[in-house]
Amino acid sequence: MANEDIKNADAKIKEPPVLFDKTQSIIDKLSTILDAPVITYWNSYRGSICHNDVVVLYEILESIGKQKKIYLFINSNGGNGRSSSRMINLLRQYANNIVAIVPLECASAATMLAIGADEIQMGPLAFLTAVDTSLTHDLSPLDRDNNRVSVSLDELNRTVKLWERHATKNDVATNPYQFLFEHVHPLVIGAVDRAESLSIMLCEDILTTHMEDKEAIKQIANTLNSKYPSHAYPILYEEAKKIGLNVTRMAKEVNALLLDLHQIYSEMGQRATVDYDEKNSHSNEILNIHEAKNKQIFYQNDKDWFYRTEERRWITLNDNSSWRRIEKDAKGKLVKSILHVE
């Protein structure tokens, strides 16, 4: 595999900054203002909610112990809804009352996470989104880079409806799936349909952790999964209130601190890629961050990429990506270590 050896190996690898002291200072201020522990969950736009987050959150919660109330800062563009459900159920074991504080994006599976809170405090820039299901299957169509693409049930249903709406007399007898199957494998369509049922069930289960009105629970779950024309449709404060969610306006001082915290996390999560040549590069980015008082755990990419021309896709080499932990010991000294999750 000599042709896949990394070129210019002496090129300097970019290291993203780890700004533990700055983030801890803001978390301390927030905890004082809110009079309760604050824990944070932040994704870069290349990160996502995943099952490993549940294990990391457990370690964070163990460090603060059981509390009457916990404030959860969320900034994420989504990910795995099952992980969101597990995270909420884990949080419920450590706090009687959970308040989600959302200054900016809280999309898709992150919306699922937020609706598991007893209260959602939204800042002026905050938004939730629809949680309609899409998934990437082993038989999904390929994009121009030869990667599997995500398929949405809403997109499939709209394609069929458009066909039926504009079908000519000669087309009426033709099943639209006959042509759809040429582009999307039947098993993918079945898997996406099943995933939508799972998404609704997950929303209902999450809401059940703090709501008793079964009709309201069902209505909210169905609305989030099927009402909106786009997966990324922004659900702002007034719309969230109409849906039936317990949303409140965030205090100006809290919002300002959370925006500052987001800016620091964004600096930590900045793109950190070194291009050796047109086919070889190294990625060293921070994707997911969890934090509480005296402890920060983040997932950092640390791997080489090689573009395999004959397959028209990037493959990874020398992958040393891992969860990394920074914490203060009893003497106030910073201790850094690797957190082995898998």
The count of structural domains within the chain is 2
Question: Quick count: other Cβ atoms within 10 Å of Cβ 214?
Answer: 11
Q: Decide if 146 is inside a domain.
A: yes
Kindly state whether residues 262 and 305 are assigned to the same domain.
Answer: yes
Q: So what's the pLDDT on residue 197? A: 73
Greater confidence, 237 or 140? 237
pLDDT tens digits, one per residue of 58-72: 999 999 999 999 999
Kindly state whether residues 16 and 106 are assigned to the same domain.
Answer: yes
Chain-centre distance for alpha carbon 126: 15
pLDDT > 60? residue 28: yes
pLDDT > 50? residue 3: no
Kindly state whether residues 234 and 304 are assigned to the same domain.
Answer: yes
Q: So what's the pLDDT on residue 170? A: 59
Q: So what's the pLDDT on residue 61? A: 98
Kindly state whether residues 122 and 169 are assigned to the same domain.
Answer: no
Q: So what's the pLDDT on residue 6? A: 45
Q: With cut-offs at 50, 70 and 90, classify the pLDDT of residue 1.
A: very low
Chain-centre distance for alpha carbon 263: 18
304 contacts 318 by C-beta, under 8 angstroms:
yes
Kindly state whether residues 59 and 176 are assigned to the same domain.
Answer: no
| Cα angle: 82, vertex 93, 24; to 5 degrees | 90
Q: Decide if 109 is inside a domain.
A: yes
**Rounded to a whole number, what is the largest CA-CA distance in the chain?**
80
User: Going by C-beta distance under 8 Å and a sequence separation of 6 or more, which residues neighbour residue 98?
Assistant: 69, 70, 72, 88, 91, 92, 116, 117, 118, 119, 210
| Cα angle: 10, vertex 13, 16; to 5 degrees | 170
pLDDT tens digits, one per residue of 247-262: 999 999 999 999 999 9
Residue 265: CA count within 13 A, CB half-sphere: 29
pLDDT tens digits, one per residue of 39-62: 999 999 889 999 999 999 999 999
Kindly state whether residues 335 and 303 are assigned to the same domain.
Answer: yes
Tokens of 336: 């850094």
What is the percent of the chain where pLDDT is above 90?
Answer: 60
pLDDT > 90? residue 153: no
The domain boundary, picked from 192, 213, 239, lies at 192
In 3D space, the residue among 95, 96, 125, 129 whose CA is nearest the CA of residue 112 turns out to be 129
Kindly state whether residues 80 and 63 are assigned to the same domain.
Answer: yes
Q: Decide if 204 is inside a domain.
A: no
Q: Decide if 239 is inside a domain.
A: yes
Chain-centre distance for alpha carbon 332: 32
The secondary structure of 80-143 as a DSSP string is: -HHHHHHHHHHHHTTEEEEEEEESSEE-THHHHHHHTSSEEEE-TT-EEE----EE--TTPPB-
Side by side, the strands of the sheet bearing 313-317 are 273-275, 280-283, 303-308, 313-317
Q: Decide if 249 is inside a domain.
A: yes
Q: So what's the pLDDT on residue 145? A: 62
In 3D space, the residue among 137, 90, 88, 94 whose CA is nearest the CA of residue 111 turns out to be 88
Q: So what's the pLDDT on residue 10? A: 56
pTM: 0.85
Kindly state whether residues 188 and 297 are assigned to the same domain.
Answer: no
Alpha-carbon span 234 to 129, nearest angstrom:
5
Alpha-carbon span 5 to 11, nearest angstrom:
14
Q: So what's the pLDDT on residue 143? A: 72
Of 17-26, 105-114, 267-276, the one with minimum mean pLDDT is 267-276
Strands 273-275 and 95-102: unpaired
Average pLDDT over residues 96-103: 97
Kindly state whether residues 126 and 14 are assigned to the same domain.
Answer: yes
> 123: domain range?
2-130+228-339
Q: Decide if 214 is inside a domain.
A: no
Tokens of 267: 């600096």
Kindly state whether residues 125 and 243 are assigned to the same domain.
Answer: yes
SS3 category, 291: strand
Q: Decide if 199 is inside a domain.
A: no
pLDDT tens digits, one per residue of 165-219: 776 655 555 677 777 777 887 787 777 766 667 888 999 999 999 999 999 999 9
Alpha-carbon span 324 to 337, nearest angstrom:
6
Alpha-carbon span 254 to 260, nearest angstrom:
10
Average pLDDT over residues 144-166: 70
pLDDT tens digits, one per residue of 295-318: 999 999 999 989 888 878 888 899
What is the percent of the chain where pLDDT is above 70?
Answer: 88
Tokens of 210: 């703090």
Question: Quick count: other Cβ atoms within 10 Å of Cβ 313?
Answer: 14
Kindly state whether residues 45 and 11 are assigned to the same domain.
Answer: yes
Kindly state whether residues 25 and 96 are assigned to the same domain.
Answer: yes
Q: Residue 269 maps to which CATH number?
A: 3.90.226
For 211, counting Cβ atoms within 10 Å of its Cβ (0-12 exposed, 13-18 middle, 19+ buried), the class is middle
Looking up tokens 């990429």 gives 305
pLDDT tens digits, one per residue of 235-291: 999 999 999 999 999 999 999 999 999 999 999 999 888 888 889 998 999 999 999
